[in-house]
Amino acid sequence: MASPASRRLTRCLLFLLVAASVVLHVGRAPSAASAAVSIAQQGWGYVDSSTAASSVGAWQWSGAEWSAKPRPNGQRVYVWPYDNTWSWSWDETNGWLMVLARDLSMGSAVGVVKPNASNTGVPAGTRLTRHDGDLVITKAGTVIDALDIYGVVQVKAANVTIRRSRVHGRGAGQEPATLLTNLTAGATNFLMEDSELTADFPSVKINDFMGGDMTLRRIESTRGVDTGGVFRSNVTIEQSWLHDSTHYDVDPGHADNQSHNDGIQVHGGSNYRFVGNTITGHNNAAIMVNQAVSHTSGLLIDRNWLDGGGCSINIAGANQYGTSELTVTGNRFGRNQKFANCAIIVSPTKHALTQSGNVWEATGAPVTLSRGS
């Protein structure tokens, strides 16, 4: 427990750091009886990596006592309670929980903290309950929390939420299928967060996710032929780590008999937001806009970390449906494209693209558009 002097100091620390757009939230820790449950279930905070301080102290419940544990900038930590009231009373017996965070909803952390193994997927320490077989969700408003799913997930109802869960796909010898689908008309407003999509038995027939009318947040998604395909409109993917698809030299689904691995494929539709993600390890493109199903409009690709592919963003010019309202801003690119310096390829005669602030991550130098046919 903190010393009396440090507790007195803590009382003075609730203030807004305007210059850094950072808030220091100070709150009373829960009682010992409820501490473990409350902390496990009540949400996240982020230590702001743009501040000058090298670390911040956060109270941690060990199961027997509270102690202050330093956390490095950029690491997410538990916050309690996670609500909008933030009214506190001083209690010297139970101590205080402090979290330095930009935004407790993590909205302003988008595009600031680079998604990776430490801050996406199922949070460390989460106890998962095993579920064997496919999970087909047909009841509106269903909430799934902390499941270890050995099967695929099919969302067929509105307002479904899945959080802190892992999807492995079907087992060996079973018919392969995409790990997560939301393809049913009316299955709107689907949310998956703090979860993982990883096929235990990859196949040329397995993608990680497919569909529309969904938000994916802080997801780790890997090992599918394509990480994701979207075509039913209204998709937000943010703060997620989409990486390392599985390539096949023999794939009968393509004319050249090889798999064309993409991070996100946009086949058509409108209102897409891909913001603050890390998308790497795909041999064709990190983001492929191919308009294969319908016209594509209202697409925002903003503040991501992108690498790989022939070109990392490929806005194809050949398909009939076309595009409108395409915006690509503030993205940071690695240098591992198959075609040198091809961060973004687009046909200026077929697509009206608004772009600015796109740079090479290593140097900060602006990228140059490559002109497609």
| 239 and 178 housed in the same domain | yes
Q: How confident is the model at residue 351 (pLDDT cuts 50, 70, 90)?
A: confident
> Whole-angstrom Cα distance, residue 256 to residue 267?
20
Residue 114 included in any domain: no
AA letter at 50 = S
| 143 and 275 housed in the same domain | yes
| 329 and 244 housed in the same domain | yes
pLDDT for the residue numbered 246: 84
- Residues 207-229 have a mean pLDDT of 95
- How many domains does the chain contain in total? 2
Residue 316 included in any domain: yes
pLDDT for the residue numbered 185: 93
More reliable by pLDDT, 85 or 264: 264
| 8 and 136 housed in the same domain | no
| 237 and 335 housed in the same domain | yes
In this structure, are residues 211 and 221 in contact, taking their beta carbons and an 8 Å threshold? no
Q: How confident is the model at residue 28 (pLDDT cuts 50, 70, 90)?
A: very low
Residue range 142-173, pLDDT digits in tens: 999 999 999 999 999 999 999 999 999 999 98
> Whole-angstrom Cα distance, residue 59 to residue 314?
46
Q: What is the DSSP letter of 86?
A: -
For residue 260, give every residue at least 6 positions away whose Cβ sits within 8 Å of its Cβ, in sequence order, or none.
254, 283, 284
Residue 83 included in any domain: yes
| 159 and 280 housed in the same domain | yes
Q: Which of 77, 109, 141 is the C-terminal boundary of a domain?
A: 109
> Whole-angstrom Cα distance, residue 369 to residue 367?
7
- Residues 356-360 have a mean pLDDT of 95
Output the CA torsion 135→281→360→311 (10° steps). Answer: -100
pLDDT for the residue numbered 255: 66
- Residues 111-140 have a mean pLDDT of 93
Q: Is the peptide bond before 115 cis (omega within 30 degrees of 0)?
A: no
| 100 and 138 housed in the same domain | no
Residue 124 included in any domain: no
CA dist list (Å): 194 to 166, 200, 239, 257, 319: 9, 19, 10, 35, 35
Q: Which of 76, 109, 142 is the C-terminal boundary of a domain?
A: 109
> Whole-angstrom Cα distance, residue 336 to residue 27?
45
Residue 77 has pLDDT above 80, yes or no: no
Residue 197 included in any domain: yes
Residue 120 included in any domain: no
pLDDT for the residue numbered 8: 34
pLDDT for the residue numbered 81: 37
Range of the domain at 146: 129-371
Among residues of the chain, what percentage have pLDDT more than 90?
Answer: 55
CATH code, 309: 2.160.20.10
| 72 and 157 housed in the same domain | no
Instruction: Identify the top-confidence range among 33-37, 45-49, 179-183.
Output: 179-183
**Range name among 14-28, 36-50, 153-167, 263-277 with the lowest pLDDT average:** 14-28
| 316 and 207 housed in the same domain | yes
Residue 119 included in any domain: no
Token pair for 252: 């009968």
pLDDT for the residue numbered 7: 35
User: Which of 196, 190, 238, 242 is closest to 211 using CA atoms?
Assistant: 190
Residue 129 has pLDDT above 90, yes or no: yes
| 249 and 354 housed in the same domain | yes
Q: Which of 81, 109, 137 is the C-terminal boundary of a domain?
A: 109
pLDDT for the residue numbered 37: 26
Residue 38 has pLDDT above 50, yes or no: no
> Whole-angstrom Cα distance, residue 151 to residue 168?
6
In this structure, are residues 190 and 212 in contact, taking their beta carbons and an 8 Å threshold? no
- Residues 190-216 have a mean pLDDT of 95
Residue range 250-307, pLDDT digits in tens: 666 756 666 678 999 999 999 999 999 999 999 999 999 987 788 999 999 999 999 9
* Upper half-sphere CA count for residue 120 (Cβ side, 13 Å): 28
| 37 and 142 housed in the same domain | no
| 69 and 99 housed in the same domain | yes
Residue 14 has pLDDT above 50, yes or no: no
Residue range 303-339, pLDDT digits in tens: 999 999 999 999 976 666 888 899 999 999 999 999 9
CA dist list (Å): 152 to 101, 160, 210, 290: 35, 15, 12, 26
> Whole-angstrom Cα distance, residue 138 to residue 346?
40
Residue 122 included in any domain: no
pLDDT for the residue numbered 13: 29
